[in-house]
Amino acid sequence: MFCYQCEQTAGGTGCVKMGVCGKNPETADLQDLLIYAIEGIAKYAHRAGKLGLQDRTIDRFVVEALFTTVTNVNFDPARLETLIQRAGKIIAEAQNLYKNACKKGGKTPEVLSSPADWKAPSSREQMLAEAQSISIAKRLEVLGPDVAGLQELILYGLKGVAAYADHAMILGVEDDSVYAFFHEALDFLTEPQAEDVDTLVAMTLKVGEINLKVMEMLDQANTQTYGHPEPTSVRVTPVKGKAILVSGHDLKDLYMLLQQTEGKGINVYTHGEMLPCLAYPGLKKFKHLVGNFGTAWQNQHKEFDVFPGAILMTTNCIQRPKESYKNRIFTTGLVAWPDVRHIGEDKDFSPVIQAALAAPGFTADAEEKRIMVGFGRNAVMSVADKVIEAVKAGKIRRFFLIGGCDGAKPGRNYYTELAQSVPDDCVILTLACGKYRFNMLEFGDIGGIPRLLDIGQCNDAYSAIQIAVALAGAFNCGVNDLPLSIVLSWYEQKAVCILLTLLHLGIKNMKLGPSLPAFIGPNVLNVLVEKFNIAPISTPEKDLAEALA
Question: What residues line the site for ligand SF4 (CB under 6 A)?
Answer: 3-6, 8-9, 15, 19-21, 23, 28, 71
Q: Which residue is nearest to ligand SF4 (CB)?
A: 19
Cβ 253 to ligand SF4 shortest distance, Å = 23
406 binds, among ligand SF3, ligand SF4, none (CB under 5 to 8 A by kind): ligand SF3
Nearer to ligand SF4, 70 or 461 (CB): 70
433 binds ligand SF3 (CB under 6 A): yes
Residue 492: φ, ψ to 5°: -130, -160
273 binds, among ligand SF4, ligand SF3, none (CB under 5 to 8 A by kind): ligand SF3
In angstroms, the CA 382 to CA 15 distance is 47
Cβ 23 to ligand SF4 shortest distance, Å = 4
Nearer to ligand SF3, 134 or 496 (CB): 496
458 binds, among ligand SF3, ligand SF4, none (CB under 5 to 8 A by kind): ligand SF3
The residues near 399 (Cβ < 8 Å, ≥ 6 apart) are 426, 427, 428, 429, 471, 482, 483, 484, 485
Cβ 493 to ligand SF4 shortest distance, Å = 9
Nearer to ligand SF4, 136 or 479 (CB): 136
Buried b (16+ CB within 10 A) or exposed e, 97-119: bbeebbeeeeeebeebeebbebe
Burial class (CB in 10 A: 0-12, 13-18, 19+), 133: exposed
Nearer to ligand SF4, 241 or 407 (CB): 407
The residues near 416 (Cβ < 8 Å, ≥ 6 apart) are 437, 438
Distances (CA, A) of 94 to 63, 91, 115, 184, 292: 15, 5, 13, 14, 44
Rg, Å, the chain Cα set:
23
DSSP state of 410: G
Site for ligand SF3 in 458-487 (CB under 6 A): 458
Three-class SS state of 140:
helix
Cβ 185 to ligand SF3 shortest distance, Å = 21
Contact region for ligand SF3 (CB under 6 A) — 57-65, 134-142, 438-446, 490-498? 490-498
304 binds, among ligand SF3, ligand SF4, none (CB under 5 to 8 A by kind): none
How far apart are the two ends of the chain, measured CA to CA in Å?
46
452 binds, among ligand SF3, ligand SF4, none (CB under 5 to 8 A by kind): none
- In the chain, the amino acid numbered 455 is I
SS3 content of the chain, % helix, strand, coil (to 5): 55, 15, 35
Residue in 135, 190, 211, 316 binding ligand SF3, rule: CB under 6 A = 316
Residue in 134, 218, 251, 432 binding ligand SF3, rule: CB under 6 A = 432
Cβ 162 to ligand SF4 shortest distance, Å = 15
Cβ 314 to ligand SF3 shortest distance, Å = 11
494 binds, among ligand SF4, ligand SF3, none (CB under 5 to 8 A by kind): ligand SF3
156 binds ligand SF3 (CB under 6 A): no
187 binds, among ligand SF4, ligand SF3, none (CB under 5 to 8 A by kind): none
Nearer to ligand SF3, 311 or 458 (CB): 458
Cβ 99 to ligand SF3 shortest distance, Å = 39
Three-class SS state of 469:
helix
Residue 185: φ, ψ to 5°: -70, -40
In angstroms, the CA 370 to CA 373 distance is 10
Q: Cis peptide leading into 338, omega within 30 of 0?
A: no
Cβ 489 to ligand SF4 shortest distance, Å = 15
Window 257-296: contact mask with ligand SF3 (x via CB under 6 A)? ----------------x-----------------------
Asked if 227 and 280 count as a contact pair (C-beta separation under 8 A), the reply is yes
The residues near 14 (Cβ < 8 Å, ≥ 6 apart) are 2, 3, 4, 137, 518
Window 385-414: contact mask with ligand SF3 (x via CB under 6 A)? --------------------xx--------
Cβ 455 to ligand SF3 shortest distance, Å = 12
Contact region for ligand SF3 (CB under 6 A) — 53-61, 81-89, 109-117, 489-497? 489-497
9 binds, among ligand SF4, ligand SF3, none (CB under 5 to 8 A by kind): ligand SF4
Cβ 160 to ligand SF3 shortest distance, Å = 9
Nearest to 164, CA basis, from 180, 178, 176, 150: 178
512 binds ligand SF3 (CB under 6 A): no
297 binds ligand SF3 (CB under 6 A): yes
Neighbours of 57 (CB within 10 A): 12
Nearer to ligand SF4, 8 or 232 (CB): 8
Three-class SS state of 473:
helix
Nearer to ligand SF3, 130 or 406 (CB): 406
Asked if 221 and 173 count as a contact pair (C-beta separation under 8 A), the reply is yes
Residue in 97, 154, 218, 317 binding ligand SF3, rule: CB under 6 A = 317
* DSSP state string for 308-363: -SEEEE-SS---PPPHHHHTTEEEETT-B-TTSEEE-TT---HHHHHHHHHS--BS
In angstroms, the CA 461 to CA 457 distance is 7
314 binds ligand SF3 (CB under 6 A): no
Residues that bind ligand SF3 (CB under 6 A): 249, 273, 297, 316-317, 405-406, 432-433, 457-458, 491-492, 494-495
